[in-house]
Amino acid sequence: MAKLLEGKVAIITGAGAGIGREHALYFAREGAKVVVNDLGGDRHGGGRGGEAADKTVADIKAAGGEAVANYDSVATREGADGILWSALAKYGRVDILVNNAGILRDRTIVNMSDQDLNVVLDVHLKGTFFCMQAVARQMKVQGAGGRIVNTTSLSGLIGNFGQGNYGAAKGGIYSLTRIAALEFAKMRVTVNAVAPVAVTRMTEDLPMMAGVSTADLGPQFISPVAAFLASDLAADLTGQIVGVQGRKVFQYRMEETDGVTRDDGMWTPAELKERWAEISR
Ligand code: NAI
């Protein structure tokens, strides 16, 4: 039986650790040729090195798969172009992009430095934008459609204390996913996002992860969902946000309530206060 991603060329960013590494191993097992991007920094975005990406590539090859390493940062246009170039130089095309690279620099808004704001926005929001833009331009030239899977977070979709920088970036990725889905439809490029929860180096010391094992909430649970969205099985899905928490898979949706409409005139603040229960129902 043909494998799910047989012959597809997939770029996976941040694939040297955590969820991205699981994606890379899973996609390669399913027949994809994988560009394993990772700049090899710590979880706050400090340092860099090639070992993380090299290790993922070595593990894919040891299992009989096909992969090439790339060490560029997603956070700059030059880095995104370099990642695309790795795919084109080695495999001559790109069919799938998984935007997964990420860092955390948690601070409350009152205590946030400009640097902690900018670095997190650069890696997540601009990184997703730059990689999507570079790859979508290439997919347009190729003319054969494609799949983009972004990575958002409940922090951006619902909100989380102390993550004003990260949540804003992840909320922006939600918006980018919705807009790119509309803009790329005529190119037959679908754009969806996963919103994972998993025990990784990024989350292992959070109070909510205390006592939780990777057997129940490991990064390996996210990859089949990403592979589904990256495959021909999901040709009719775009602009969707799929939550994955261990064995639970669900959909996030932005809702508009029915609201209340006046027959004439304008609302006064006092009336809005009085009718708030109906407006928000
Ligand atoms: P991780 O820290 O284990 O892995 C992230 C990888 O991205 C690292 O290997 C790192 O070197 C790489 N990376 C960081 N900045 C990069 C850059 N500028 N260019 C290229 N690579 C870069 O983290 P984890 O948990 O695997 O996170 C993966 C994605 O999932 C992130 O986007 C994260 O925000 C998101 N996410 C994770 C959640 C979780 O519960 N673990 C929850 C919600 C979202």
Per-residue model confidence as pLDDT tens digits over 17-59: 999 999 999 999 999 999 999 999 888 899 999 999 999 999 9
Ligand 1 mean position, distance from CA 202 (Å) = 7
Other CB atoms within 10 A of residue 136 CB: 20
Q: Is the pLDDT of residue 5 over 90?
A: yes
- Read off the pLDDT of each residue in 96-122 and give the average, rounded to a whole number: 98
Ligand 1 pocket test target in 200, 201, 252 with most atoms within 8 Å of CB: 200
**The pLDDT of residue 207:** 87
**The pLDDT of residue 152:** 98
Answer whether 197's CB lies under 8 Å from 245's CB.
yes
The DSSP line for 135-173 is: HHHHHHHHTS-EEEEEE--HHHHT--TTBHHHHHHHHHH
Ligand 1 mean position, distance from CA 102 (Å) = 4
- DSSP at 33: E
Q: Find the residues whose C-beta lies inside 6 A of ligand 1.
A: 13-14, 16-20, 37-41, 43, 45, 52, 73-75, 100-103, 123, 127, 151, 153, 196-198, 200-203, 219
Catalytic pick from 91, 166, 174, 252?
166
The alpha carbon dihedral of 77, 70, 192, 6 has a sign of: positive
Q: Is the pLDDT of residue 16 over 90?
A: yes
Residues 281, 279: Cα–Cα separation, whole Å: 6
Q: Is the pLDDT of residue 240 over 90?
A: yes
Sequence ranges of the domains in the chain: 9-256
Ligand 1 mean position, distance from CA 169 (Å) = 13
166 among known catalytic residues: yes
Model-wide pTM > 0.95: yes
Compute, in degrees rounded to 10, the torsion defined by CA atoms 15, 52, 90, 183: 30
Q: 1 pLDDT band (50/70/90 cuts)?
A: confident
Chain centroid to CA 189: 16
CATH topology of domain 9-256: Rossmann fold (3.40.50)
- Read off the pLDDT of each residue in 155-163 and give the average, rounded to a whole number: 97
**What is the β-pairing status of strands 189-197 and 66-70?**
unpaired
Q: How confident is the model over 252-275, as pLDDT tens digits?
A: 999 999 999 999 999 999 999 999
- Mean pLDDT lowest for which of 46-50, 118-122, 146-150, 270-274? 46-50
Ligand 1 pocket test target in 11, 12, 13, 19 with most atoms within 8 Å of CB: 19
**The pLDDT of residue 110:** 98
Residues 35, 227: Cα–Cα separation, whole Å: 15
